[in-house]
Amino acid sequence: MIKHLTAALCTAALMASTVAAKSSHAPSSKFLRAGPHHIRKSAEQTNLRKAAEMQGYRKVSSLAVFPEFVPGLGVFYVKPETLPRGPLLLFDRKDRLVATVYMIPVEDIDSRKKLDIPGFRGKADHITLYFQSGHVGAEMPHYHLVIWNVSKEGEARVAK
């Protein structure tokens, strides 16, 4: 278990430095590149959900037996062909993007696989990494790598 945790923490540290380098300015999501630059932040976040749907992201609850809203995480969207790894986009009840989640199999960490994690854009506030023994849709043991777009205080609003 120590080996798993050490590898996962190294992955999170690398992701944090990559995310910090990409997020030194205002969000520059590929979803918004074609849109006007004067959109207010809350409208911008709502447009991200609509743009994600136009690019093939679907509510996980429409694809499988899964709650519409998960307290503490939000409403999950994913491109079905990217499961189980992700990215999964998490939105709050007001359609604001709050986080991006990747599921990293323990097997991939144990075999020291290179972890290319595509799809993240925008400003990141912090990263949470935690172990999952498995669940519907990702039965294998894995880590959830959660890249939060909101502050720790912002996470509290997603819990409601």
Least confident of 13-17, 75-79, 107-111, 131-135: 13-17
Please write the tens of the pLDDT for every residue from 72-126. Answer: 899 999 999 998 889 999 999 888 999 999 999 999 999 999 888 776 666 889 9
Q: Against a cut of 0.85, is the pTM above it?
A: no
Question: What is the longest distance spanned by two Cα atoms in the chain?
Answer: 48
CATH number of the CATH domain containing 49: 3.30.200.270
Q: In terms of residue numbers, what domain contains 153?
A: 2-158
Count of structural domains within the chain: 1
C-alpha 71/C-alpha 156 separation (Å) is 9
